[in-house]
Structure 1
């Protein structure tokens, strides 16, 4: 390639794009930059964003089993406090937790796994 590709967006398949965008808006502090019944996007004005697209008959990934899938890794100042807040926002905490306490696996309201770890 004459110029390298630049990363712009992660698109997550789901059943309810606007509801899932609102969940991640609360999680990240980013703003909803686009929304219609079938597609929504959040971002912070930087070069990367997360989008959510409606898929008819959507089925969430299984954790920890099932086929390989992509998940988001997020850093938080306080894992225990963030876990509590995320559960209050509608996340769930699966029983299976790898990582020996270095991170926590949660699932969003539609079942997509994501991890939180200590960071700045």
Structure 2
């Protein structure tokens, strides 16, 4: 029997109901639990997120270089442009406007409460030649 099981990522925010609705729609998920101060969702692929009420919550300052990135969410997508349109339509905003150089194409965003997250393009696997 496993002693420690995978848990849930919890984000502090002033309005957990609104933030849960953003991620529920983005991840095509469902709400699984709610109380006065906590709302939990499960995305269509099984990822679990919770949102805890903190009336004094302030958004992280990332990506400003004078502050370190302490934690952020990363989601894999097949189409960065389509995912960006969905995020903006749900109330999120881009943090980085260009794709960084390197083997992965990714873009940074903030949810409506200011938490940062990254979309990373799922690399296409070309069939082997020869």
Both proteins in one fold, TM over 0.5 = yes
Please identify, of 17-26 and 5-14, the stretch whose mean Cα deviation from structure 2 is larger.
5-14
Is structure 2 residue 115 aligned with structure 1 residue 112?
yes
TM-score (norm 1): 0.85
Q: Which runs of 4+ in 1 moved over 6 A?
A: none
- CA positional deviation for 1:75: 0.8
Contact 1:97 1:105 in 2 (8 A): no
Say which one has the larger Rg: 2
RMSD: 2.4
Q: TM-score, normalised by structure 2?
A: 0.79
TM-aligned CA deviation for residue 119 of structure 1: 2.2
Name the counterpart of 2:24: 25
**What do the CA deviations read for 1:81-104 (whole angstroms, capped 9, x no partner)?**
111121111110124656337101
Q: Does 1:86 align with 2:87?
A: yes
Secondary structure of 2:92 counterpart? coil
Distance 1:37 1:80 in 2: 36
Distance in 2 between residues matched to 1:47 and 1:84, nearest whole Å: 23
Contact map agreement 2:28 2:44 (CA 8 A) in 1: no
- Which shifted more, 39-48 or 66-75? 39-48
Deviates more, 1:18-27 or 1:32-41: 32-41
The number of equivalent residue pairs is 119
Instruction: Name 1:5's counterpart in structure 2.
Output: 4
What residue ranges of structure 2 are gaps of 5+ in the alignment?
124-130
1:99 aligns with 2:65: no
